[in-house]
Homo-oligomer: A and B are copies of this chain.
């Protein structure tokens, strides 16, 4: 089942209503195939002339999480990010503390640790988060410590800026 129908099924099962806003949001998110935050999602929708309030985005996201379509991800930049998981292979993240770059990786060993530790503590694990923190190949070679802060700012604001630029281009 595709994500949109999966969501429709959840909506129906919960006795909620199928609305154009919800349909638009799930469509947009599953056309991204990447991490996003509420601001980015909002701008993307605006670029497509879809005027959905942030309140609705904030209200829809918990439904998408509850229905197993997306999950929260933490990147330590002060606010929440999300990513599609339904139909996407589970992965973990490498995060560069210098430039903020995120690299995804998959590894079966993490799952084995999950199973072993769960058994050891009588814990029933339903998921895990495994994140490696350090320097991406590019930043590992640099040594300009003063530039690190600036680089990080530039990179984390890039996506948002891009979205803005695109929006300005087509007013």
Contacts and interface: CB of A to CB of B under 8 A. Distances in A.
Nearest to A112: B109
A143 interface: no
A132 B121 CA distance: 11
Size band of the interface chain A makes with B: 35 or more
A107 interface: yes
A107 B112 CA distance: 12
A72 interface: yes
Contact of A121 (B76, B129, B137): B137
A113 B134 contact: no
Contacts of A96: 123
Contact of A130 (B74, B128, B135): B128
Interface string A116-136: 111011111111111111111
A103 interface: yes
A129 B127 contact: no
Interface in A131-149: 131-137, 140
Interface string A37-77: 00000000000000000000000000000000000101010
Interface of A: 72, 74, 76, 94, 96-97, 103, 105, 107, 109-110, 112-114, 116-118, 120-137, 140
